[in-house]
Amino acid sequence: MNNVVLCTNLKQNLDVAIERCEHDKIFVLADVHTQQLCLPLLLKSIDNVQVFAIGAEDLNKNIQTLVSVWNFLSQKGASRHSLLINLGGGMITDLGGFAASTFKRGINYINLPTTLLAMVDASVGGKTGINFNGLKNEIGVFNAADSVLIDTDFLRTLNHDNILSGYAEMLKHGLISDVSHWAELLNFDMNHIDYTLLKQLVGQSIQVKQGIVGQDPNEKGIRKALNFGHTFGHAFESLALARQKPILHGYAVAYGMVCELYMSCVKSGFPKDKMRQTIHFIKENYGLFSFGCDDYDQLYQLMLHDKKNENDVINFTLLEDIGKIQINQHADRKTIEEVLDFYRECME
């Protein structure tokens, strides 16, 4: 399980994290944005590092980029005792974690997430991987970073869309934990961000995820709670990618939660008032992902290919109420199309 540190002093926290890892050389993987905006902060804390930057968009989370990272490590003389620091969003921590987990059969790595999404989701919990054949995170391994350093000062470098993207995962953590945390998240003013309060909420969100991952590191049972909103969400994300109009992961999850809250109402008795409040927040902040009836078949096929499924049955995580989780729930095509109808009616 990750050693997650909510940073008070990046240099001191990073020094301790590096000391925890036996290493002969230190490498940094960044993207072209974090190389410009965040790397200077990191280089104040450490020196004698070799840096490799890749493209910033999720479409770079592929086998070709992975090979380029392996090549970089190999050409720069990395050994099985080297250390890789992943500086960036979820794409960097996912791909960099997978590169570290497979190079020389595995080297130590530290995640230094710079986006809200990566802080509360991608960098914590030990999932690594790449997209493959148009499917999200199709290839990867479970292998936790040696340390994850959460420095919320990096959030000041983010645009509003990326704050919202990460916030969707926090809202999910609220829905699967308790009413007071959920209510606090719905009351947060997204248009006038209080970064001190946001840091506190980030800490709470990470605790929710760590509590679940600690019980079930390899997603055999309760960790599937973290998939709430993701069955529909990943399908929306893949459809947007196929249209060559990608949407941010958190936005896809927000739209997926609209669908899975409604399905929870229909199948599990989730309270309608809490569904309406949550959907209102999503509609106000995330806008609309547009699709029509003629997209239903493609969305259904994308859900069928979701790696969370077993025996070709589409698998959902649903909620009886906030914090009352039902894993391994199923729905037939008719129900799924009814849910898509509801989404289009209530969001448009």
Domain that holds residue 165: 161-347
Q: How many CB atoms lie within 10 A of CB 289?
A: 20
pTM: predicted TM-score of the whole model, two decimal places? 0.91
Please state, in angstroms and rounded to a whole number, the distance separating the CA atoms of residues 165 and 230.
Answer: 13
Q: Are residues 208 and 137 in the same domain?
A: no
Burial class (CB in 10 A: 0-12, 13-18, 19+), 347: middle
Choosing from 134, 157, 180, the residue where a domain stops is: 157
Q: Are residues 333 and 196 in the same domain?
A: yes
- pLDDT values of the chain reduced to their tens digit, one per residue, 348 residues: 568 999 989 999 999 999 999 899 999 999 999 999 899 988 888 888 999 999 998 889 999 999 999 999 999 999 999 999 999 999 999 999 999 999 999 999 999 999 999 999 988 888 999 999 878 788 999 999 999 999 999 999 899 999 999 999 999 999 999 999 999 999 999 999 999 999 999 999 999 999 999 999 888 899 999 999 999 999 999 999 889 898 999 999 999 999 999 999 999 999 999 999 999 999 999 999 999 999 999 999 999 987 677 767 899 999 999 999 999 999 999 999 999 999 999 998
Amino acid at 289: F
Q: Are residues 273 and 254 in the same domain?
A: yes
Q: Are residues 45 and 107 in the same domain?
A: yes
Q: What's the structural domain count of the chain?
A: 2
Choosing from 118, 138, 157, the residue where a domain stops is: 157
Residue 284: CATH number of its domain: 1.20.1090.10
